[in-house]
Structure 1
Amino acid sequence: MNVSTRENGGLGQRDLDALARAEHADPFAVLGPHTDPAGGVTIRAYLPNALGARVLARDDQRVLADMQPGAIPGLFTARLNEALPYQLHINWAGGEQVTEDPYSFGPQLGDIDLHLFAEGNHRDLAGRFGAQPAQVDGVDGVCFSVWAPNARRVSVVGEFNNWDGRRHPMRLRHGAGVWELFIPRLGVGETYKFEVLGKDGILPLKADPLARATELPPSTASKVAGALAHEWRDQQWMDERAQRHAYGAPLSIYELHPGSWRCELDEAGEVGRFYNWRELAERLVPYVQELGFTHIELLPIMEHPFGGSWGYQPLSMFAPTSRYGTAEDFAAFIDACHQARIGVILDWVPAHFPTDEHGLARFDGTALYEYDNPFEGYHQDWNTLIYNLGRNEVRGFMMASALHWLKHFHIDGLRVDAVASMLYRDYSRKAGEWVPNRHGGRENLEAIDFIRHLNGVAAHEAPGALIIAEESTAWPGVSKPTEEGGLGFHYKWNMGWMHDSLSYIQNDPVHRAHHHNEMSFSLVYAYSEHFILPISHDEVVHGKRSLIDKMPGDRWQKFANLRAYLAFMWMHPGKKLLFMGCEFGQWREWNHDHQLDWYLLQYPEHQGVQRLVGDLNRLYRDVPALHEQDCKPEGFQWLIGDDAQNSVFAWLRWSSAGEPVLVVANFTPVVREGYRIGVPFGAQWQELLNSDAEAYAGSNVGNMGTVASQQTPCHGQPLSLALNLPPLAILVLKPV
């Protein structure tokens, strides 16, 4: 029990006025038990709108004293001759309440927690701060804490106190700027927010930045969450993960938005409801297994107020969105994926956050999480605010968020969104609209330090997990180790390859000869980073058209072009990422408010694309030459890179054991018979894949399965093959 040595039995007018106005900065100095000069204890409780109160003994509920009304309405006082554990029996207009006094409990956060928080090194913030169910002195309740160093007063509010900020003002731990309060008899599921008194008055009610559960949007309150009640069964996956994530292992990612992949429709064919995570796992896991992807990547599932942001404007960086169920449902989903040998990557957004008034914006009346200067702190493109990663507490907040997903939910990787916007202070800004760094440069030094620190800490705390950068500039060494001066990411999205290859494939074949280098240029820099080739959600929205609708020509040519493009992508060095719907040629742009157009799979052309993607994944996984040296120049050898006139490309992929695979691409609708291509050895070459095969709804032009080599040197090779090149197609062959 917290008993101070305050001498006066009553309160001065200043304290009374501050309580009445809900402006008292130190409620523990006036409320709860306080010793008096006679050796007794004066107990004060401020209970606005209460009809009366009495003090009960905690052990046997006997009445110790009736509390007397004080000088202001709602203030009740009682005096005991000795200090005893006690409860308050409160009469309200709507009934009676018996509870322990929150102001009879001492500080709950330890000095080490506060010290680590203040220096930005607390790696389990969500396990200690926010709202933590706890038992204190044998009493069950919830410990609330929140960082608001510039607030004049902070209160916990919720249904339990009629959202009245006068009822539960918190204690300020001055050194860390953290407010805390243990409220007895609250439990898991309780909704709450923080009422913050800033320098200019009461702010809009704030959700808990460290909440691990939230109300279902559009409601915005936080919810008290308990320990994750899930028994993991994925130990084998976790033990094997580092090996599965080696640079020489296959990595093929299916990117999806969980709400619009598949959902329950109403009678009108509109979205009736989202599946929860467990229902989604029943449908998604077998589908991903059948298609042969090694991983899925989820668009951000951290709670976000606006569904139309697809999760890229999150406000609860520790809470899985309630749209699809509970944290336990989410954990069960991850576990189901792991048991099916499917990894799970999350998109994670440390670059910016939305301006919603219940969120982080000017959290305590000042720019706390964001930069104060709009030239540093405001994202003009997205109408969002930029995290001030130069601040210890903000840096620690973001670090703890990353580790929360990686460790708490066994997530296999984070794809870090909008890295370019973090690296450059002048990102998407005109001259005079940005603030240089301390050296006068455009680099955001504090964000760079954070990224390097994140990648180092994640490697230590979550071994085997991948950290992937969505980075669109020529920043050097994004995926190089930090000890070599790099940023330390495992992979970088190859946005250059994506832009160039999509630009090429959208040209009518008659014009492709003039754009030939767009398909080969990526090999100039293919090994400067560890790359993932992304065809992501960003390429099939906002008027960019779906992937198949980008393709030129009639219906047959569109499907042929799509199959050739996907096969080109899978045979190109680099790991793979494909957004949902592209795997079966959805015509419509992705719409987050509708599920994918699954009905299209009744048509053979769409079935063919889907079957091709499955075969490409299996080929990619089963043939070492197609993945072992994805990140090494020794794994690739040009044979034909300059036949612009015929729009033909040919190359070899090599395994580390010296086993080659031949890839030949014909990006015109013209069948090329007897096209000669040099090969290093092998009397017979077997056709592993033909994207024009009848099984894929193609025209079935090919080479009858195998081709005999000839003693005709070509392309610097001692032997050669005379191949029939199918129209708008890719051939893949290996020596028998």
Structure 2
Amino acid sequence: MSDTADLIDAGTAAAIAEGRHGDPFAVLGLHEIGGKIVVRAMRPEADSVEVLDAKTGRKIAALENVRDGLYAGVVPRRKNRFDYKLRLTRGGESWEEQDAYAFGPKLGEMDEYLLGEGTHDNLWDALGAHVCTHEGVHGTHFAVWAPNALRVSVVGDFNGWDGRRHVMRRRGATGVHEIFVPGLGDGTVYKYEILDAHGNLLPLKADPVGFGAELPPATASVVRDLDGYDWSDAGWLKKRGAKQRIDQPISIYEVHLESWRRVPEEGNRSLTYLEHATMLVDYVRDMGFTHIELTPVSEYPFGGSWGYQPVGLFAPTSRFGTPQEFRQFVDACHAAGIGLIIDWVPGHFPTDQHGLGRFDGTPLYEHADPKEGFHPDWNTLVYNYGRTEVQNFLIANARFWFEEYHIDGLRVDAVASMLYRDYSRKEGEWVPNKDGGRENLEAIAFMQRMNTTVYGADDSILTAAEESTAFPGVSAPVDAGGLGFGFKWNMGWMNDTLRYMAEDPINRKYHHDKMTFGLHYAFSENFILPLSHDEVVHGKGSLLGRMPGDDWQRFANLRAYFGFMWGHPGKKLLFMGGEFAQAQEWNNETSLDWHLLDHASHEGMQRLVRDLNTLYRATPALFQKDHQEDGFRWIDGGNAADSVFSWVRYGEAGETPVLVVANFTPVPRTGFRIGVPHEGHWDEKLNSDAAIYGGTDTGTPGGARTDAVSMHGCPYSIEITVPPLATVFFQLED
């Protein structure tokens, strides 16, 4: 038996055995000391440890338990480095393992440089848990950024959640810690155990760049191998850019996967990714929407947040299946010709102990000052956009979803809260920027860099901002001073028009401007008209429930409103359930009320939305110039007395124009003359009052031919019947 002092000094042994040593790779594993080859292993679960020749399996040496499961021993000299394994015995059982401390680092110098600089575009290739073969051995490589930690360990069932067993190697000044653990693979459950700079043990942390997670309420990360998926969407990706331009029809169906449809026969469970890949995709294709937008799918601990308080930004939620099954869902969307947008939340993160908050014992991802780092509306933490590593983390995450999951767009949540330092804060509760203003200059720079990066990598994708203020240039190019988003949600249009629709028709003439005001700024941004989940929660009721009048009038109002929306400049977005007039306010814990489709009025609403999408996609005048002033002309936007609105939509040269007439009173207008700018026959293409939708079938069947009677500043006019509470589309025929 060797003298213990020759194997390891007492202070170092104590630090290793107590999990306080910050550089275990300098101690554990194989080292040459004073001309001797010494192997040390921290294996407190074993009664004995032996060193074996990895090639022959022969025993080379037995190690001595020098302190609390820290084993050490001298190996007969062969050469400075050789391949070995450990044989461990406990009770009557023995097993063999590769030693994690026998392996060198996996991250390269370029990784270190880019991580330190905060410019690692493929951050997820360096950090996180990667199943791989390293130095000829299969296992998993773990890497995490924790610059202020005294010690970081990866823990899990594989080591009895003992933070002394797999203490990680610190990589220079980058603050990154890494370790390769042989034998681990897909499905391994793990967390990080961290000692802060003062030696305090922190709550176990999930991996910020973990690719999988346990099913909530469990909170550990799960190793997921992202390699090996055989994508079949090359054809879609090739034509995607042409389908997502601002001159194309974009009609988005917003979905909360957990509550779209459930299986009552199986405990009311939600559908899986694979079930959505058939049921949801088939439904959306049948309804004529061009895109699905998902509320956030990044792993989130609290279901009641709907995903808007994510912890695992790199992990598709395990609620519906595995990452590979989520890829199959994306593939199915693309096979059906449907784009997939996901909601992305770079504005804040929850305070859950296993999350990013004070990750290494310091405010690493968030600001130290709660006036900057705490969000009062949501009791969440705000990212420190001025820190390059945090910007890198978020921007790499945006790229990750495009690269690894082939998504087609990101809708960025709560942009207004990011743009202004005083958002939802009272005087004295916020910190001005360096110029003394309220704008969050760092967040603005972050969004510009994010859009520049993702569009620079692939200009066929889209980004959209949920932004509720008048901040200029949200969808303007970065080189023109804008934020660089492809689209912006038109929150003003949504708020104004819903307020108008809530009015009793007899009072609408006093609120006429709420329907016309949006045209004063409709072409200042690349707008999406959103009727999102936010409009059917928190006591607001359903869209149908917000309509006034008796049962017939409520349905007619909503049909007319949908017609107004589809005829109005701007891309379209409708939250699930709205298309068939869900009667109750949305509840994230139950399914939509699909049984309502047994009733003609609800089925008629669904048919209308399907037909609106069909007309929209087939009629260039309704989308080609959504964001150009010359694509829109008021015929009569001032008829407040009758609450009738009329306008013409134009496409590119050679495309036939479309006349839209909307009547928001229950009074039919017979013999109604309206000016038109072009001579010919104007055919009635869609009437929201048609009997097949639940209406009275009042209208102008067959359309109307122009008369040489000037009106509304037009050289011609037509005489039509305008149905009650309805929107009608007419198209000029050659």
Indicate if the aligned counterparts of 1:54 and 1:89 stay in contact, CA closer than 8 A: yes
The residue aligned with 1:669 is 666
Give the secondary structure class of the aligned counterpart of 2:630. helix
Tell me, yes or no, if the aligned pair for 2:14 and 2:67 is still in contact at 8 Å.
no
Opposite residue 271 of structure 2, the aligned amino acid is Y
- Correspondence for 2:355: 359
Corresponding position: 1:509 with 2:505? yes
2:60 counterpart residue number: 64
Structure 1 residue 290: Cα displacement? 1.3
* Equivalent position amino acid for 1:175 in 2: A
SS at match of 1:352: coil
Q: Report matched runs for 1:463-502 at 5 Å.
A: 463-502=459-498
Task: Give SS of 2:479's match.
Answer: helix
Report the alpha carbon displacement of residue 75 of structure 1 after superposing the two structures with TM: 3.2
Any idea what SS the aligned residue of 1:610 has? Answer: helix
Matched, 1:630 2:626: yes
On the 8 A contact 1:480/1:489 being kept in 2, the answer is yes
Partner residue of 1:707? 704
Does the Cα contact within 8 Å between 2:115 and 2:389 map onto a contact in 1? yes
- In the alignment, the residues of structure 2 paired with residue 228 and residue 45 of structure 1 have an alpha-carbon distance, to the nearest angstrom, of 32
Q: Which amino acid aligns with 2:168?
A: M
Q: Matched residue of 1:215: which SS?
A: coil
Q: State the distance in 1 between where 2:511 and 2:338 align.
A: 38
In the alignment, what sits opposite 1:96?
Answer: 94
- The answer for the alignment partner of 2:120 in structure 1 is 122
Structure 1 residue 617, shift from structure 2 partner: 0.5
Name the SS of the counterpart of 1:65 in structure 2.
Answer: strand
Amino acid at match of 1:214: A
Q: 1:328 to 1:49 in 2, by over 3 A?
A: closer
Q: Is the 8 A contact 2:7 2:74 kept in 1?
A: no
> Contact (CA 8 Å) 2:686, 2:728: kept in 1 or not?
yes
Q: Please list the CA deviations of residues 375-406 of structure 1 after superposition, one character each: whole Å capped at 9, or x if unmatched.
A: 00000100110111111111111111101111
Counterpart position of 2:647: 651
Return the offset for 1:681.
2.1
Structure 2 counterparts to residues 118-197 of structure 1, below 5 A: 118-197=116-195
What is the alpha-carbon distance in structure 2 between the residues aligned to residue 611 and residue 94 of structure 1?
71
Task: Quote the residue 2:17 is aligned against.
Answer: 20
Structure-2 separation of matches of 1:531 and 1:384: 29
Q: Which residues of 2 match residues 603-614 of structure 1 at below 5 A?
A: 603-614=599-610
Structure 1 residues 661-689: Cα deviation after superposition (integer angstroms, max 9, x where no partner) = 11111100011111111012233211001
Residue 211 of structure 1: aligned partner? 210
Give 1:31's aligned amino acid. Answer: L
In structure 1, distance between residues paired with 2:193 and 2:90:
23
2:717 paired residue among 716, 720, 725:
720
TM-score computed with the length of structure 1 as normaliser: 0.97
Question: In the alignment, residue 202 of structure 2 is paired with which amino acid?
Answer: L
Q: Quick one: distance in 2 between partners of 1:217 and 1:563?
A: 40
Confirm or deny: 8 A CA contact 2:532 2:574 kept in the other structure. Answer: yes
How do 1:318-337 and structure 2 match up within 5 A? Answer: 318-337=314-333
Q: Which deviates further from its counterpart, 75-84 or 325-334?
A: 75-84
How do 1:293-692 residues align onto structure 2 when only pairs under 5 Å count?
293-657=289-653, 659-692=656-689
Q: Can you list the C-alpha shifts for 1:471-501, whole angstroms capped at 9, x where unaligned? A: 0011000000011110100000000000000
1:410 Cα deviation (Å)?
0.8
Deviation of the 1:80 alpha carbon? 2.7
- The answer to which of 194-203 and 410-419 deviates more is 194-203
Q: How is 1:26-37 mapped onto 2 (pairs within 5 angstroms)?
A: 26-37=23-34
Q: Tell me if structure 2 keeps the 8 A contact 1:468–1:489.
A: yes
Preserved contact between residue 131 and residue 142 of structure 1 (Cα < 8 Å): yes
Q: Deviations over 1:350-372 (max 9, x none)?
A: 00111110111100000001111
Cα separation, partners in 2 of 1:93 and 1:221, compared to 1, 3 Å: farther
Contact 2:226 2:323 in 1 (8 A): no
User: Cα deviation per residue 1:305-341 (whole Å; 9 max; x = unaligned)?
Assistant: 1111111011111110111111111111111111111
CA deviation map 1:456-480 (0-9, x unaligned): 1111212210010000011000000
Inter-CA distance 11–542: structure 2 relative to 1 (3 Å threshold): same
Deviations 1:64-86 (A, max 9, x none): 01112214443333333233311
Specify the code of the residue in structure 1 equivalent to 2:226. A
Contact 2:49-2:71 at 8 Å conserved across structures: no
Whether contact under 8 Å (1:42, 1:80) holds in the other structure is no
1:655 Cα deviation (Å)? 1.3
Aligned residues of 1:207 and 1:221 also touching (Cα < 8 A): yes
Q: Secondary structure at the match of 1:437?
A: coil
Distance 1:128 1:188 in 2: 17
Shift of 1:95: 2.8
Deviation at 1:254, TM superposition (A): 0.4
Q: What is the CA deviation profile of residues 531-585 of structure 1, one whole-angstrom value per residue up to 9, with x for unaligned ones?
A: 0000000000010000000000000000000000000000000000000000000
Q: Partner of 2:234 in structure 1?
A: 235
2 CA distance for matches of 1:56 and 1:562? 76
Q: Equivalents in 2 of 1:441, 1:560: separation in Å?
A: 48
Q: Is the 8 A contact 2:541 2:584 kept in 1?
A: yes
The amino acid of 2:723's aligned partner reads P
8 Å CA contact 1:297, 1:344 repeated in 2: yes
> Aligned in 2, Cα 1:651/1:137: closer, same or farther, shift over 3 Å?
same
**Conserved? CA contact 1:541–1:589, under 8 Å:** yes
- Greater mean alpha carbon deviation, residues 324-333 or residues 701-710: 701-710
Q: Take 1:477 and 1:591, find their aligned partners in 2: how far apart are those partners?
A: 35
Distance 2:213 2:548 in 1: 46
Change over 3 Å in CA distance of 1:338–1:394 after alignment to 2: same
Amino acid at match of 1:375: K
What do the CA deviations read for 1:267-298 (whole angstroms, capped 9, x no partner)? Answer: 7xxx5322211111111112111111010100
Any idea what the Cα deviations from partners look like across 1:18-41, whole Å, max 9, x if unmatched? 123211011112111111223x30
SS at match of 2:499: helix
Distance 2:408 2:360 in 1: 35
Gap runs ≥5 in structure 2: none
Sequence identity of aligned pairs in percent? 53
Offset at residue 94 of structure 1 (A):
7.3
C-alpha change, 1:625 and 1:94, in structure 2 (3 Å) is farther
Distance in 1, matches of 2:466 and 2:91, equals 57
CA RMSD of aligned residues (A): 1.3
- Aligned counterpart, 2:277: 281
After superposition, what is the alpha-carbon deviation per residue over 1:110-131, rounded to whole angstroms, capped at 9, x for unaligned? Answer: 1111111122211222222211
Instruction: Indicate which of 104, 107, 123 corresponds to 1:106.
Output: 104
Deviation (angstroms), 1:231: 1.3
Alpha-carbon distance, 1:16 to partner: 2.1
Indicate if the aligned counterparts of 1:34 and 1:42 stay in contact, CA closer than 8 A.
yes
- Work out the CA distance in 1 between the residues paired with 2:33 and 2:680: 102
**What letter corresponds to residue 220 of structure 2 in structure 1?**
A
Taking the aligned partners of 2:703 and 2:494, their CA distance within structure 1 comes to 33
User: How many residue pairs were aligned?
Assistant: 726
Question: Which one-letter code corresponds to 1:289 in the other structure?
Answer: R
With over 3 angstroms needed to count, the CA separation of the structure-2 counterparts of 1:71 and 1:264, relative to structure 1, is closer
1:351–1:421 CA contact under 8 A, matched in 2 = yes
Structure 1 residues 405 and 552 mapped into 2: Cα distance closer, same or farther (>3 Å)? Answer: same
| 1:678 aligned partner, one-letter code | G
Q: Deviations over 1:137-170 (max 9, x none)?
A: 2111111111101011111100011000111111
